[in-house]
Amino acid sequence: MARPLCDSEFIYGLHDSGGEEVMRAARRPGWIVFSERIGSNPQDFGSRDYSQWSDADFGVIVRLNHGYEPEGTIPVSDSYQDFARRCGNFVRNSSGCHIWIIGNEMNFAAERPAPTSRRAMRPPRGVKREADEPAWSPRELPDRFSALQEGRRSGRSRGADRDPITPEMYARCYRLCREAIHAQPGHEDDQVLVGPVAPWNNQTTYPGNESGDWVKYFADILANLGATQCDGFALHIYTHGSDPALITSDAVMEAPFQDRHYHFAAYRDFMQAVPQTMRHLPAYITETGQIDEWADVNSGWVKAAYEEIESWNKQKGNQQIRALTLYRWSRHDKWYIDGKPEVVKDFKEALGKGYKWRVDAVKPTPPQLPEYKAAFVQGGGLHAAEAGQTLVTHFVVRNEGAKTWSKGGRNPVRLGSTWQNQAGEPVTVPPESDFRTPLPKDVKAGETVTIQGVKVMIPLADGNLRLTWDLVEEGVTWFAEQGSSPFVEIVNVTPSPEMQGYFEPVTKKWVRGPFLEAYRQYGLEITGYPLTDQYVDEDSHLNTQYFQRVALEEPKAGQIRLRLVGQEALTAQTEIDGLNADIARLTADIDQLHREIQALKDAMQNGGDGSVTLKPAIEDITDQLPRTAKDFKRRQSSAIKYLVINHTGGPADLAIDKLAGYHRDRGYPGLAYHYVIDGNGAIMQTNPWTDTVSDQGYLGEGLNIAIAGKFDNEIPNEKQLRAAAQLCAWLLVELRLLPDAIQGVSEFVSTGSPGAQWLKGQRYKDKLLAYVEEAVDEATKPGTPKPPVDPKPDPTPDPVEPGSAAELTALREKLQRRESELAEAQTRLAAMERELAGRDDRLASMQSQLDQQVAKVAAQQAEINRLKAALQQGGGELPAAPPLTAPAMHDITDQLVKHETLRYATRKLNKITHICIHHSAAPATIPIENVAEYHVKDRGWPGIGYHYYIKPDGATYQTNRMETISYQVSDNNSYTLGVCVAGDFTYQPPPDTQVDAAARLVAWLMQELDIPDANIMGHKEFPKNDTSCPGETWLKKVTWKNTLLDKIRSVRDGQNGYVGQRIGHYVLFWQRTDTWAQQDWEAAETYIGRFRPTAGFSVDDAKTAEYVTIVGGDAGVSFDAERTLQGAGCKVERLAGKDFADTKRILDDLAASGRRFLTFPG
């Protein structure tokens, strides 16, 4: 008869049914693991009956997968609720199982859901499930164990372009599924297990886990859930080979994962990462094997595996592993056991031991509840709304913290919300519409409360916006800041009629909101036609619009006033004065460079006494290390482009031959480094420059320099840094590289080397670069004493017979010494010439900056003249704007991958008549290098197809010369220029920052190439191109083509900004509809009385101040508001103590000292 959980008392098991007879015959009814693909259709009630196995006393575990690659093991985040309902449906109608796993190897990129997997999956088709599995498995991909592939894999992997499943996202999905399963009658006490994490996989990185450590990923999931929200977990574990000794091997990985086991013992890494409060929960190893397919040999591997788990389980206090299931019985893939009698014999011999897991081996530990933690049980559901609406919803929230939530008092707990756009930038609503909904009562720890009448205002924006709901203890903290998980949903916001406004066909400009009211009220005789669209001025940060006869701005919501155009002329003149000061400074810098170069030339003319003495003492131990020379890749020295800094990741005194042995164990032919610097600063050469362990990526293009030690919490000692700087300085000279060639390995691949302190914390990269510059300057300083080439004078030879053999030998030795001296002198001279060339390059760069500044001054002077003419004219159209300058961009044309043999054709610029707009049709976060690699390696093109590429933050990259006829719009390439806006705009347009950048770029290209508006076309608009690019929203729905063209015209109009009269100092306090910062105000009374600043509650008013002091933490005046003020050009300082008394003390101390600010003078 089946046990209540339909589980087994034994630890034996098999993945798939069909082999259970082996366990039945041994009277050891163990576990059977099933894998089901159920989709996320909440109307699907398909199920399966497992009773035939549970009734026979077998333990049944079922893994619930949303789908298989590329559908995702769990769905995209906005389908989590539907997936949870589908899980509940499946469980309710299935018999014979009470243990369920949610998802599989969530950190493995191939298990991430592709965007197309939003569709509901088909329902199950009866008992035989193998037909639902894919024809191939992601487990066959080498990137499944990506941390073992560093330096030996390609830059692309399946699923890498999809959004990762972070621990927070998985925990959210798991929690919903667990609640849905426990809600089913008869399943209230089911075990819902956390899905197994792929061991040795570092593909999923996120803040706090930049290396992608799989054990930390697992631990972070458990930390997100806690002991009360988790029923147990599943694991996967293997050995890398069939030798039974690998079961107990303690071999570890190389840096940065030197703390992780390499074989079967990796299960201990997971078990030791489980929080103490969760060690009473059941653990199941639901897949184990030998990585490669099972050889039909009774090697004892199976017996050894079960003996290891029994050894773990019987140790006092160890969390119990209830199952170890062999992968797999069925013949669906190459890892099958069915039909391999020797493996079955090994399994039978293990069954004979009768190993069982122990009940109550670990007692539950009462969890230490955090002070602030809220679980959102129900609510939200605002999937679509119109901008400007105020909607009402409700939430059910459970207090999972230790602190009672107060309904009233000075610091009540309320429910609030914030908005962000797709780029992660805050989207604000008016302060009076920043609703905070009170609780209906005080809520104690463990209680659940329903909050009705929750209001939220939809911002005046459009597209898919991120709405975050969270509790806030007013004046103290948001719960998310204390580690609690907020509730997040994506809302599709459509423009309101007010936002859509009136389109003026004469000038093809939109007029909206209060500007439209003024336009209609005063008429054409006063305003004239609109010349620009409404925009936010960069200086005043006010909504602004220019018309033919007036310019208007919106200082407060709904209020319109005339813009002070005369102020613009004064502002432009002030900017010119600043530019002239910059020119004077640059001229002085150039004069100094002239003097330095002349000093170098004088030193060279005086016989080269400014000699280069860069090469440090280096011991070549290459031949003393274990290495297989023939297996190294060969390259020319000219292929070296980088000096790659590593840390060894272990103790600084680790023997170098042992380090080389570790590298050979990982499959390298020898030590991967070219130089190693030990703990005393001694430099050892460990490989020739021409040898490398791989000809790909940074390994193929870099000299690898390792500094002994691990630098996550500390940096190399002074001797190591000085030695590394001397070595790098010499190598830069020898290889003719610039200092920016010095890079850490973490700047090429996701890894912990050369330590967390390389680019963060103490940033020892900066210190190393400073020492390198110091070493080069010292060695190339004119007049540096030249060290003697040979400290010993030529010995006086013994008298020899003229013409004898002895005389010839002596002469030959003297000649060799002289040739050596000459070679050294020539080396020093060449180094000095390179230094001179470098200084000339700097001079040219300075001169270029000077020319640019002079040109900018001329442009500003022209703008002043234009504005003065506009003032004198008093009406009519403004004079034409000055020519546009090229927008800021990064030219990476020569850095992107090119085809080995194919090359694009070229053309003259006057042949370009059209600009083609593309979208990348992929996540905007994909690196440009991956796009280029796809075009070259997958499509066989000579290079990337686009000429320009624009990221979501507006960063612009040139990827081809304009003369290049690249492949980007079939049959129309010869006369088009391709601009790609990164992202997929099928359902929503690009963010404003991206469109603004595209407008600046395209407007400048149109000017340079004399291209009219009508010739700016999307890819789909060109003949013979059947494509959706650049997205459905280009010509339909929000028609971002019109938005782009409007912004291009605004750029061409060349209107400048206004800087209004500024408040000197504003002290800003928070205020809500029914409460305000009374305690903060009282704390600031002495401060305000001492300095007499402007004080108030308006962020808009504060934006007009030069200095802003925010009183209190960001639970009052938010961090988003602080960033808004900084963006408005304000100097912002926040004064917030640990409590109100501490805040008052800070303010009083400032008042007593006569200082307004802690961080600013005055």
Within a domain: 485: yes
CB atoms within 10 A of CB 580: 13
User: Which secondary-structure segment (H or E) carries 177?
Assistant: helix 167-182
Global pTM exceeds 0.85:
no
pLDDT of residue 893: 92
User: 259 with 252: CB under 8 angstroms?
Assistant: yes
Task: State whether 34 and 135 are in the same domain.
Answer: yes
Whether residue 566 is predicted with pLDDT greater than 70 in this model: the reply is no
More confidently predicted of 710 and 1122: 710
Within a domain: 1162: no
Identify any residues that bridge with 290 across adjacent strands, giving them in sequence order.
292
Whether residue 1151 is predicted with pLDDT greater than 50 in this model: the reply is yes
**Which value, to the nearest 10 degrees, does the dihedral of the CA atoms of residues 16, 21, 23, 25 take?**
180
User: What tokens appear for 982 in the block?
Assistant: 């990164």
Q: How many domains, in total, are found in the chain?
A: 7
* Lowest pLDDT segment from 57-71, 364-378, 708-722, 975-989: 364-378
* Lowest pLDDT segment from 259-273, 837-851, 970-984: 837-851
pLDDT tens digit string along 430-474? Answer: 777 889 999 999 999 888 899 999 999 888 777 888 899 999 998
> Backbone phi, then psi, for 165, in 5-degree steps?
-95, 100
Crossing angle (nearest 10°) for helices 1040-1053 and 992-1009: 60
Within a domain: 642: yes
List, edge to edge, every strand of the sheet that includes 1105-1111: 1094-1096, 1063-1068, 1105-1111, 1131-1135
User: 1084 with 548: CB under 8 angstroms?
Assistant: no
Task: State whether 396 and 488 are in the same domain.
Answer: yes
pLDDT tens digit string along 595-607? Answer: 444 444 444 444 4
pLDDT of residue 815: 52
* Lowest pLDDT segment from 195-204, 418-427, 643-652, 752-761: 418-427
pLDDT tens digit string along 419-441? Answer: 988 777 888 777 778 899 999 99
Task: Compute the mean pLDDT over every residue in the chain, rounded to the nearest whole number.
Answer: 82
Give 666's DSSP letter. Answer: T
Band of residue 387 on the pLDDT scale cut at 50, 70, 90: confident
Within a domain: 365: no
CA distance 458 to 422: 15
Band of residue 332 on the pLDDT scale cut at 50, 70, 90: confident
The full DSSP string for 713-747 is: SS---HHHHHHHHHHHHHHHHHHT--GGGEEEGGG
Highest mean pLDDT among 644-648, 1037-1041, 1102-1106: 644-648
Task: State whether 1080 and 999 are in the same domain.
Answer: no
User: 775 with 768: CB under 8 angstroms?
Assistant: no
Burial class for 1154, CB neighbours closer than 10 Å (0-12, 13-18, 19+) = exposed
Task: State whether 138 and 213 are in the same domain.
Answer: yes
Task: State whether 942 and 1048 are in the same domain.
Answer: yes
> Of 450, 440, 447, 468, which is closest to residue 395 (Cα–Cα)?
450
Task: State whether 693 and 676 are in the same domain.
Answer: yes
CA distance 286 to 906: 58
Range of the domain at 1096: 1063-1153
Task: State whether 640 and 693 are in the same domain.
Answer: yes
Highest mean pLDDT among 72-81, 826-835, 1037-1046, 1061-1070: 72-81
Task: State whether 104 and 45 are in the same domain.
Answer: yes
Positive or negative torsion for Cα 1032, 1036, 1037, 1043:
positive
Counting every residue, how long is the chain? 1162
Q: Among the three residues 448, 463, 498, which one is the final residue of a domain in this structure?
A: 498
Task: State whether 133 and 205 are in the same domain.
Answer: yes
Cα angle 885, 550, 532 (rounded to 5 degrees) comes to: 40
User: 583 with 853: CB under 8 angstroms?
Assistant: yes
CATH number at residue 911: 3.40.80.10
Task: State whether 68 and 85 are in the same domain.
Answer: yes
User: 247 with 305: CB under 8 angstroms?
Assistant: yes
Task: State whether 914 and 988 are in the same domain.
Answer: yes
Task: State whether 715 and 859 are in the same domain.
Answer: no
CATH number at residue 147: 3.20.20.80
Within a domain: 368: no
Q: b/e string for 200-231 if b means 16 or more Cβ within 10 A?
A: bbbbbbeeebebbbbbbbbbbbbbbbbbebbb
Within a domain: 369: no
Within a domain: 634: yes
More confidently predicted of 993 and 783: 993
